[in-house]
Amino acid sequence: MSEIKRIGVGARMSEAVCYNGIAWLAGQVGTPGASVTDQTKACLAEVDRILAEVGSDKTRILSTQIWLADMADFAEMNAVWDAWVPKGNTPARATGEAKLATPEYRVEVIVTAALA
């Protein structure tokens, strides 16, 4: 049986959990109150950081869920996403609107990736 490895373990959650060749990342958010562009960039930078820590990278992302506080921000978020996501290695993705943890959060990104 494969071992479960937890990264960045906290009292409430871990930054990532790895098992059987898969990494599940916790939802990543940017600086509260920043623009959608800046929050998306911050989310994706954290995804890059955590993936590197678990021994993976964005070319190995299997699926992504993106939550927006307002779907009116879809195009602004997508402009950042499209510049970041590796061409030819785009994951399955879903984007929806949700009330996030605080009103100052406008974007949350959740990733599942294969380990290298």
In angstroms, rounded to a whole number, what is the distance separating the alpha carbons of residues 112 and 87? 18
φ, ψ dihedrals at 73, nearest 5°: -90, 5
Centre a 10 Å sphere on the Cβ of residue 56 and count the other Cβ atoms it contains: 22
55-113 confidence digits (pLDDT tens) = 999 999 999 999 999 999 999 999 999 999 999 999 999 999 999 999 999 999 999 99
- State the pTM of this model: 0.96
φ, ψ dihedrals at 108, nearest 5°: -140, 135
Q: What domains appear along the chain, each with residue ranges and CATH number?
A: 5-114 (3.30.1330.40)
Q: Name the pLDDT band for 2 (thresholds 50, 70, 90).
A: confident
Task: Determine the pLDDT at residue 116.
Answer: 86
Q: How open is the CA angle 111-105-67, to the nearest 5 degrees?
A: 40
